[in-house]
A and B are shown apart, each in its own frame.
Chain A
């Protein structure tokens, strides 16, 4: 039998090697281990909340939301603190700076 033929037979043997195989069995006390895991899983609701918060499906939108709020606050503050330009007449300016002199002392009527 030449090499190629031998390899061909080995390939066929490999492909059919699972024929008639027995089933493997898991380690003993599988149910006990599952029950223990179930009890731990059901034990703490805080752990489940923490696990959910740690998931990207929550983290990414939360991060984007915080960034959005930051932008909103920054731009909102800029418009609120901008100087308000109002027109003032000369009379009001004079009032503001008290441009009139006090006349407590009348020089003509001593």
Chain B
């Protein structure tokens, strides 16, 4: 297995086999990040493909100032957030589009997202967490996803999000407070008759 620097160098030289190796090495990482953000398997798969296509087409713009994984995370997060915005926009203007006969196949959002990697006994509590995550501001959601779900250190999260470690720590603590409040409301509603 090649080191990331060697992989990048080989890619710059147009080595097709190294692209296959890059996909093999990073596909799970990128897919999981996209999945935690968009919370839809098929959308996450599309985003992963788009990320690798962009990497293939723009590898020359990678200067090597950051780690390859940092650059890949940045592209994935940007694509996943764009995808979410596009989906929201389509949903908002869906009625107007239907008036003009522009039909778009918009699949209905699943009510509950089941992350395939979650242990069976934690499914219910993780459903509540992913629902609450959707309500967080983007930067808090990304910080929480990278740190808690992807298991990245605060330093790495800071590099990915282009901010300092203190700012990441502050984002994380605000994210936790907001998540606790949302979950409190969720469980209060769930057990209000008991």
By beta carbon, the residue of chain A nearest B145 is: A18
Q: Does chain B have a CB within 8 A of A55?
A: no
Interface of chain A, main secondary structure: helix
Q: Does chain A have a CB within 8 A of B179?
A: yes
A86 to B23, CA, bound (A): 81
A77 to chain B, nearest CB (A): 37
Q: Does chain A have a CB within 8 A of B191?
A: yes
Contacts of B88 in A (CB 8 A): none
Contacts of B129 in A (CB 8 A): 14-15, 17-18
Interface of chain B, main secondary structure: helix
Contact check, B116 vs A15: say whether CB atoms are below 8 A apart: no
Contacts of B79 in A (CB 8 A): none
Contacts of A68 in B (CB 8 A): none
Q: Does chain A have a CB within 8 A of B149?
A: yes
A14 to B186, CA, bound (A): 11
A18 to B27, CA, bound (A): 20
Contact check, A14 vs B128: say whether CB atoms are below 8 A apart: yes
Contact check, B23 vs A30: say whether CB atoms are below 8 A apart: yes
Contacts of B44 in A (CB 8 A): 26
Contacts of A18 in B (CB 8 A): 115, 118, 126, 129, 148-149
Q: Does chain A have a CB within 8 A of B158?
A: no
Q: Does chain A have a CB within 8 A of B45?
A: yes
A38 to B184, CA, bound (A): 46
Q: Does chain A have a CB within 8 A of B78?
A: no
Contact check, B132 vs A7: say whether CB atoms are below 8 A apart: no
Q: Does chain A have a CB within 8 A of B92?
A: no
Contact check, A37 vs B53: say whether CB atoms are below 8 A apart: yes
Show the binding face of B for A, using Cβ within 8 Å: 20, 23-24, 27-29, 31-32, 35, 41, 44-45, 48-49, 52-53, 56-57, 115-119, 122, 125-126, 128-129, 132, 148-149, 176, 179-180, 183-184, 187-188, 191, 194
List 8 tightest A-B contacts by C-beta distance, closest first: A22-B117, A17-B126, A14-B125, A26-B31, A17-B125, A24-B116, A21-B117, A17-B122
